[in-house]
Amino acid sequence: MTAFIDITEAEMVFNTRKGRFHALRDINLKIDQGEFITLIGHSGCGKSTLLNLIAGLLTPTGGGLICDGREIAAPGPDRAVVFQNHSLLPWLSCTENVLLAVESVFGGKEPRKKLEERARAALDLVGMSHALTKRPHEISGGMKQRVGIARALAMEPKVLLMDEPFGALDALTRAHLQDELLKIVARTKSTVVMVTHDVDEAVLLSDRIVMMTNGPAATIGEVLKVDLARPRNRVELAEDPDYVHARKAVIDFLYTRHKHAEAA
Ligand SMILES: Nc1ncnc2c1ncn2[C@@H]1O[C@H](COP(=O)(O)OP(=O)(O)OP(=O)(O)O)[C@@H](O)[C@H]1O
């Protein structure tokens, strides 16, 4: 039986002005439904490329990707993406931004009232009910990112794909949104694949951390299972020996065994 997401021998070669660039090779990964996976690795190793392959925004030059029994050949509403920069439409309110995504999935099948309910429920889930009519420029960066997450969740995707969703936020807002995301995912039981540079974020959120080697021709170096009970509490975890051990394993991979050339 194939896994919920099944990546087999995926390879990505880009054609550039300077010739062919081999970004990813031999990517093999099976992800179960409801799993929270983070992709971690040094800058330029191909984390976003791998996420974009799962999103269907890129087509692999070798191998294949399957999601829920179907080959991933194009982007689809079953795989919603949250980027680092919220990418909300500035002239629309928070509700209208979310509604647009809801309409793209459920429009034509459900009455307008039901679509509006879906948008409001998603904004409620991320704690943004107080800003339904506000435009993006009227809310903070953290709030914009919440609306971006609401927009993705409102599509009821099978998979939530996140490319450094909290990368542009200050440390406190980031911590707060990580905690919120943990609660949301516990409720929605979403399957999540998230790109991050942050070791603590990876350990706090993940069921498994996929650690990537440096490019060119990067691949999966190691996969670390994070066996910490949920719900997870960042304060209690700080001194948990299993947390400290997982953190050390990732740091060791990144900074000892796969040190980046620029940092060497
Ligand atoms: N469309 C493209 N054309 C050519 N090369 C590309 C393209 N997209 C990515 N690359 C190259 O592939 C490699 C992997 O890029 P990618 O953005 O996936 O890395 P990353 O690990 O997400 O990096 P970062 O952590 O800095 O965001 C890089 O060397 C990048 O320059």
- Predicted confidence pLDDT, tens digits, the chain (264 residues): 679 999 999 999 999 999 999 999 999 999 999 999 999 999 999 999 999 999 999 999 999 999 999 999 999 989 999 988 778 999 999 999 999 999 999 999 999 999 999 999 999 988 899 999 999 999 999 899 999 999 998 998 989 999 999 888 888 888 988 998 998 888 888 999 999 999 999 999 999 999 999 989 999 999 999 999 999 999 999 999 999 999 999 999 999 988 887 654
Confidence (pLDDT) at 262: 65
Alpha carbon nearest to ligand 1 atom 7, residue: 14
d(CA 249, CA 254) in angstroms, rounded, equals 9
DSSP calls for 135-185: -GGGS-HHHHHHHHHHHHHHT--SEEEEESTTTTS-HHHHHHHHHHHHHHH
Classify strands 5-16 and 19-31 as parallel, antiparallel or unpaired: antiparallel
CA of 61 to the centre of ligand 1 (A): 15
CA of 12, closest atom in ligand 1 = 12
What is the complex's ipTM, to 2 decimals? 0.98
Give the residue, by CA position, lying nearest to ligand 1 atom 2.
14
Distance 251 CA to ligand 1 centre (A): 22
Q: What residue ranges line ligand 1, CB within 6 angstroms?
A: 14, 16, 21, 23, 41, 43-49, 215
- What is the number of the ligand 1 atom nearest to the C-alpha of 51? 18
Separation of CA 148 and ligand 1 centre (Å) = 23
Distance (Å) from CA 196 to ligand 1 centroid: 14
User: Distance from the CA of 49 to the center of ligand 1, in angstroms?
Assistant: 6
Beta bridge partners of 254: none
Which ligand 1 atom lies nearest to the CA of residue 216? 29
Please report the pLDDT score of residue 212 as a whole number. Answer: 97
Let me know: does 82 contact 165? Beta carbons within 8 Å. yes
- Count the neighbouring beta carbons within 10 Å of the beta carbon of residue 40: 24
pLDDT of amino acid 128: 92
